[in-house]
Structure 1
Amino acid sequence: MTFHGIVPGLSCSPMGKVRVDVLFGGRDKCRVENILFEVVDLDNPYHALLGRPALAKFMASIHTAYLKMKMSAPNGPLTVVGNYKVKLETASVGSNLAESLVIAEEKRRIQTAIALAQSSQLN
């Protein structure tokens, strides 16, 4: 399966897959599931992206505006709370990275077009 939209304008195919135990929570209240991740060679500010299959396995309910995720755990409901400062920093890094990658791809396409135009003039 090819990934699209992680970095705008670019797509990539997985290099392989890896199974990893993913743990949410702490010592007194936690939840662990074994998740299959697809590994890609892509510059991205995130270490891992959890998609619908992972969230379904945890039976998690997410609220992106409040940066909260809730799921059931053996000792009662578990709430995972995000950090707004980290979210803003990551969004900024991701935006800058995406912009630079898109600009690099546009430059490559322009250079290809120029090379084709010059070769057709020589013929």
Structure 2
Amino acid sequence: MTKLGLEAKDLEPTRTIFHSIVSGFSCSPIGRIRLDLFGDSSHFRREPIWFEVVDLSSAYHALLDRPALAKFMAVPHYAYLKIKLPGPKGLITVTDDYRKSIESARDGAKLAESLVVAEERRQLDRIVALAQEASTAPIPAEDPADKTSFKPSKETKKVKLNPEDPSCSKYVVMGSRLDNK
């Protein structure tokens, strides 16, 4: 915004929300603005287009969606950090700086990591608070052991695990009233 000579008062309100710019997080733009040129003062193309303005560190100055690319008949090439589109005096090429892109991507990764760490810390604090609440809550009296607890049968028998192997010394204990099945 600053490089374009724009100020916050030039922005219009927006209700757009960007999801998963950083995995699992949402971001609301600070506003939107309609700009209508591509190129420099000697060779440009006017096509009015709305831009959502977001206060984030990013490797990109602008993100164009497919309708915008179609409107400009633009061809982006991500590996070369270029976008080309037809203009009144021939081809317009918009180029970015690799070093700036790498620095911006690194800063963006640090920002993403700090957001994820902060969210994990909030979740951990919430879990600790729930655990503290649970530890201070009164523990209900246990039910009598006659109906709710497991009781082994008093009538049991030992059965050899492998009856065909006389050297097998492993047994299982089971109820003596069970069927042979």
Q: Does TM-score exceed 0.5, indicating one fold? A: yes
Q: Work out whether residues 29 and 73 of structure 1, in 8 Å CA contact, stay in contact via their aligned partners in 2.
A: yes
> Rg: which structure is higher?
2
TM-score, structure 2 as length reference: 0.58
Unaligned regions of 5+ residues in structure 1, if any? none
Query: Measured at CA, do residues 60 and 38 of structure 1 come closer, stay the same or move farther in structure 2, by a change above 3 Å?
Result: same
Give the corresponding residue for 1:100: 114
Give the corresponding residue for 1:12: 27
Q: Relative contact order (alpha carbons < 8 A, sep ≥ 6): 1 or 2 greater?
A: 1
Query: Measured at CA, do residues 39 and 122 of structure 1 come closer, stay the same or move farther in structure 2, by a change above 3 Å?
Result: farther
Question: Could you tell me how far apart the structure 2 residues matched to 1:48 and 1:25 are?
Answer: 14
Number of equivalenced pairs: 121
- 3-state secondary structure, aligned to 1:49: coil
1:68 equivalent to 2:94? Answer no
TM-score, structure 1 as length reference: 0.82
Which of 86, 89, 95 aligns to 2:103? It is 89
Give the drift of 1:31: 1.5
- Which has a greater percent of helix? 1
Q: Work out whether residues 19 and 34 of structure 1, in 8 Å CA contact, stay in contact via their aligned partners in 2.
A: no
Give the corresponding residue for 1:44: 57
The alignment-based identity, stated in percent, is: 50
User: Pairwise CA RMSD of aligned residues?
Assistant: 2.1
Question: What is the letter of the counterpart of residue 18 of structure 1?
Answer: R
Question: Could you tell me how far apart the structure 2 residues matched to 1:114 and 1:53 are?
Answer: 47
